Structure 1
Amino acid sequence: MAISRLSFIKFLELALTCICFGIHYISFECGDIHRAILTTGTFFGFIIVMIGLAAGYVLQAPIDIRIDIFFSLIGCTLFVASGAWTIEAYQHSSKGEYRDMQFGKAAMAFINGAVFLVDAILTFSMNGDLPTFENFLTSFNWLS
């Protein structure tokens, strides 16, 4: 089985998500419960999602393009929000190894958010049979 560009990106997203979760596990502090829920939920939840999507790619099971784009855009949003909230929480803390780990976690979250965005753009652009935006929305019965 040849590895396509999209399957490579999926495995890259999974690897970056595991790295984010590993750093988060080492540097976890429950000072702000809302930030803890967002970052832990994003990192661990997307490990589960990415394992499912990666298994679908390996097994060559058809995954609906809309679902793939949806998870990519939600992943982009959540990882960028987790990174931004982590930086906001630790930008004024004293310098040290703990703060560096938090900033490293935030940087990895930003990188993963960018990879999710690239994945969504590539998935959308590589499938010429996708409907227009209006047809896309009506396929979910939002405008009908």
Structure 2
Amino acid sequence: MPGSPLGKTSLACKVIEFLIICICMGLHVNLDMIPLKQYTLVSIVFGGYIIILGGMLLGFLVCERLSRKIDIFYTLLGMALFVAAGGCLISNFSGNGKFYYKHVDMGLATGSLAIINAILFLADAIISFKDVHEYTPH
């Protein structure tokens, strides 16, 4: 329930996650010279989770409940995907600085923000798991 303290915390986590994803996507589209496999993975992860979290936030705004299992599934999957995307970006830009000298800072910042967002996804999954007040029988 969005009115409970844990519901408000979960909503705040989702808003922060959404903002970080939008920042990551904005940085990512300005990066050049990324191998095609990594570019595809990172683009799909960022774009897909903009759509998924946008739908979740819209559901919060119209007071529609998202199943706790589905919420935990999407957040844990997001955590794994953001670790993979951030790891790809960091590994691509950390050792090859002489080739990508224009975009090293942006690439490392995008990868770091993706890892930070993965940590936020984990915290959001824990908060969703702890939110038991809505699921107790009356």
Q: TM-score range by the shorter chain?
A: 0.7 to 0.9
Matched, 1:23 2:27: yes
The list of structure 1 runs, each at least 4 consecutive aligned residues, that deviate by more than 3 angstroms after superposition, is none
Match of 2:81 among 78, 83, 99: 78
Aligned letter for 1:9? C
Gaps of at least 5 residues in structure 1 are 131-144
Normalized against structure 1, the TM-score is what? 0.83
Q: Which has the higher contact order (CA 8 A, sep 6+)?
A: 2
Measured after TM superposition, the shift of residue 97 of structure 1 is 4.0
Aligned to 1:142: none
Normalized against structure 2, the TM-score is what? 0.86
Aligned to 2:128: 123
Matched, 1:106 2:111: yes
Q: 1:28 to 1:74 in 2, by over 3 A?
A: farther
Task: Verify the 8 A CA contact 2:32 2:103 in the aligned structure 1.
Answer: no
Q: Distance in 2 between matches of 1:22 and 1:108?
A: 12
RMSD: 1.9
Measured after TM superposition, the shift of residue 115 of structure 1 is 0.4
What percentage of residue pairs aligned between the two structures are identical? 29
Measured after TM superposition, the shift of residue 87 of structure 1 is 1.2
Gaps of at least 5 residues in structure 2 are none
Aligned to 1:133: none
Q: Distance in 2 between matches of 1:90 and 1:108?
A: 14
